[in-house]
Structure 1
Amino acid sequence: MADLEKKETKTGKEDPGGSGGYQMKISLGVIAMLVSATGMGLVPLFSRWATRTDMFNGALGFNAGDSIGALMAVGRMGMGVVAFLIIMVATHKVHVFKKLKLTPAIALGGLMIGMSLACYVTSTLLTTVSNAVLFIYIGPVICVLLARIFRKEPMSALQWACLGAVFIGMLFGEGLVGFGVGGAAFGVDFNLVPSTPEFPQKGLGDAFGIASGFFYGASMFFNGYRKDADTTARGVWNFIFAVIGAGAITIVLNALGANPGMENWALNVHFTTFNWIGAVLLWLVCGPLALGFLLVAGRNLPAADYGTIAYWEVPVALFVGLVVFGEPFTINTALGAILIIGGGAIPSIKGMVAGRKQKQQAEISENLAARLEEEAIKEDIR
C-alpha cells in the first residue's frame, strides 16, 4: 500500500487551485468521488423522508407546502457553507479567501447551483425519482452548448451527437416517445401527463427537473472561469451564493405559488419528529459529507475522471426509486437513462482515455530519456 501511495504521488499533477505543488492521489480521489456521488444520489430518499406525510405514499401530500423542497435545499447549501468554512480554517486558508477577488463568474456559479438544487429537490417530491435525476443530468450537455454560444468553443461531431442523444433521452424519460405497456409497438405521443394518482403535480415536477438541469449546466459553465482560484476559498463563495439562489427560488414560490391561489406554498411547515430526522440526514449526508468528499475528489482526480464517476449518482437514485419507493423501471426509463448518461459521460470518458494515453506517452518518453542518459554516462566512464 505504501508503494501504491508513493507511485500515485509521483504520477499526480499539480493542483490548479494554487496549493503549491500538491500531488494527486488517484485511489483516494476515486473513493471520495464514489462516496460523494452516493450521498448525492440519496437526495430523493431523504427529501421524501423529510417532507411527506407518509414517506412511501406521495398521494397523501406533505407536512408542509409544496415548495418545501426548495427550503430543504437552503438548509443543505447552508450546511455546505459551514463545512467549507471549517475546512478553510482547518487548512489555514483564511488569508487565501480574503485575497480571492469575487468575480461575477464565481458568484453566478454558486447562484446557479443553488437554484439547480432547489429545483431538483422540489422535482424529487413532485415527480418520479427517475425523471428528476435524469433531467438534472442534461446539465453537462447544456454546459457544452452554452460554451459554444457564448465562448465560441467548437463542438465536435461527437458532442453534437451527444446533445441529440440527451434530447431524445429526455423524450423517452418523459414518455413522449417509446414503447407501450408490455413491449407494445414503438410510438410517439406528445400528450404530456400532468398528473398521476401517486404524483398529482407530476407535470410541474418534470418542469422543475428540466429547470434543474439547465441551472446545473449554467453553473458548470460559469465554473469554467477563474480556474486559478483556490478550491476551498472559491467553495465558500460558491455556497454562500448557492444559499442565496436556493433562497430566491423558495421566496418566489412562497410569494407567488405555482398557480393562482397557491401563495404560501413553502412555509406551512408542520414536521413530525420522523420528518425532522429525514431533514437532518438530508442536510448532513447530502450536505457536508457529500460536499466534503466532493472537495477531496476534485483535488485528487483529473476533470475527466471526476466528471465520469459523478454519474454514479444516477444508478444510486434509480435504485432508491425502484427498491425503496417501488417506482416502475420501464424500458422507456431504461432507454432514457442510457441516452442521457451516455450523452453526458461519453465526452468525459473520451477525455479520460486521451489523458491516460498522453500520460503513458509522457512516462515512456521520460523513461527512454533516462535510459539514454544512463547509457551515455556508461559510455563516458568507459
Structure 2
Amino acid sequence: MNTKWGAIAMFISATGMGLVPLFSRWATRTDMFDGAKGLNAGNSVGALMATGRMAMGVIFFVCLVLMTKKVKVWKELKVSPAIIMGGVMIGLSLGCYVTSTLLTTVANAVLLIYIGPVVCIVLARIFRKEPMTIVHYICLVAVFTGMLFGNQLIGFGDSGFFVDFNLSASTPEFPLAGVGNLFGFLSGIFYGSSMFFNGYRKDADTAARGVWNFIAATVAAGSLALMLHLIGTLGHVPGWALDLQLTPFNWVGAVLLWIICGPIALGFLLVAGRNLPAADYGIIAYWEVPVALFTGLLVFGEALTINTILGFILVVGGGMYPSINMLRESRKNRKQSRLDSAEQPEEILETTAS
C-alpha cells in the first residue's frame, strides 16, 4: 500500500463529497446564492439530481470493469440481498441528502447525514452481535448530542441553555426547513444502513460489486424522485411536482455534481480504499464535514453559530475517536511486527551456531 498516495486520494474524494451542497444548489436554484428566490423546479428535483449522480456511478464502474478486464468476474459474481440493499440504501441516502441541502442549511444537512456511522454501529450490534466498548457508547452519545446542537434542537441562546424539539422551523430562505431537517435525518439513517449492508460479502470484487451497487442505487434514487413527484401531482401537495425549468447555468451545475461528486470522488475513493488502512480511511473521510460547512459559510453566507460549532466538534470528534484508537493500535502492531522480524535473523544465527 502507498499510504501517502492513499491519503491524497482520500482528501480529494472527501472534498468532492463535501461539495455536494454547492453543486446541488447551483443546479437547481433560481439564484444560486439566494434561496429565498426558490428553485427552478419542484422540491423533488433533489432526488432527481441524486439519480443522475448514481447513474454516473454505474457508468464509472462499468468502465472500470472493462478496463481491468473483469467482465468474467462480474458475470460470475453471486448477487446477494446485501449487495442490492447496500446500493438501495446509498441511493435513498443521497436522494434525501441532496433534497435536504435544498430545503435547510448546509450545516443541518451534513451534520444529520453523519449520524450514519452511529446507525451502522447500532445495527451491527443488534444483528451481528458485534462487541461495543464503553468508548463506543460515549462516542455514540457524543455524535447524537452533536446532531441535536447542530440542528438547534438544544443549545445556547440569549436566555441561556434551551431545549426545543420543534422541527417545523421556517425562514425566508428555507420555508421548509423542518422538512429539510427530516430529509437530512432520513439520509443519515439510510447512510448508516448502507454501511451496515456493505459489511457483508467482503469477498466480492470491488469493481464488480460496484456495478450492482450503483444500479440498485440509481433505481432507488429514481424511485424516490418519482414518489416525491407523485406526491405533488396525484397527492396535490404544492411544490413537490418535478416541474423542471432548469436554465443552462443550472445544467452546468448538474453536470459538475454528477461528474465531480460522482466518478471523480468515487474513483479516488477506490484508490484510497486500496492504499489506506481502515482507520486512516475513516478519519480522513470526515474531511467532508468541514468542506461542506465552509461551503455554507463562504459561498452561501450561512453563519456558524456557537451551537453549530459545538455540534461539529461533537459529531466529528465522536466519529473519529474510534478510528484514531484503531489507527494507534494498528501502528503499534506494525511496529511490533517489524521488531519481531528484525530479531528473527539473530535467533536463526544463534541456533545455527549452536
- Common topology (TM > 0.5): yes
Q: What is the SS of the residue equivalent to 2:287?
A: helix
Q: What is the SS of the residue equivalent to 1:178?
A: strand
Contact kept? 1:255, 1:263, Cα under 8 Å? no
Could you tell me the percent identity over the aligned residues? 63
Contact kept? 2:40, 2:244, Cα under 8 Å? yes
Distance 2:300 2:55 in 1: 28
For residues 329-372 of structure 1, what are the alpha-carbon distances to aligned partners after superposition, in whole Å with 9 as ceiling and x for unaligned? 00100001111111211111111111111111111111111233
Distance 1:258 1:151 in 2: 42
Contact kept? 1:254, 1:263, Cα under 8 Å? no
Distance 1:263 1:272 in 2: 22
Work out which of the residue numbers 117, 121, 124 in structure 2 matches 1:144.
121
1:304 CA displacement:
1.6
1:261 CA displacement:
2.2
Q: Which amino acid aligns with 1:318?
A: L
Provide the residue aligned with 1:164 in structure 2. Answer: 141
1:192 CA displacement:
3.3
1:65 to 2:42 alignment? yes
Tell me the TM-score normalized by structure 1. Answer: 0.90
Q: What is the SS of the residue equivalent to 1:98?
A: helix
Distance 1:231 1:32 in 2: 17
1:129 to 2:106 alignment? yes
Distance 1:48 1:242 in 2: 21
1:358 to 2:336 alignment? no
Work out which of the residue numbers 77, 81, 87 in structure 2 matches 1:104.
81
- Larger deviation, residues 202-211 vs 346-355: 346-355
The 5-angstrom pairing of residues 262-273 of structure 1 reads 262=237, 265-273=240-248
- Larger deviation, residues 328-337 vs 165-174: 165-174
- CA 1:303–1:258: 2 relative to 1, 3 Å: farther
1:210 to 2:193 alignment? no
Unaligned runs of 5+ in 2: none
Provide the residue aligned with 1:241 in structure 2. Answer: 216
Provide the residue aligned with 1:228 in structure 2. Answer: 203
For residues 224-269 of structure 1, what are the alpha-carbon distances to aligned partners after superposition, in whole Å with 9 as ceiling and x for unaligned? 0011111111111111111011112111111124995227825211
Q: Which amino acid aligns with 2:288?
A: E
Distance 1:245 1:366 in 2: 50
Work out which of the residue numbers 264, 267, 270 in structure 2 matches 1:295.
270
Distance 1:266 1:222 in 2: 32
- Larger deviation, residues 263-272 vs 93-102: 263-272
Tell me the TM-score normalized by structure 2. Answer: 0.96
Provide the residue aligned with 2:315 in structure 1. Answer: 340
Contact kept? 1:255, 1:264, Cα under 8 Å? no
1:190 CA displacement:
2.8
Unaligned runs of 5+ in 1: 1-23
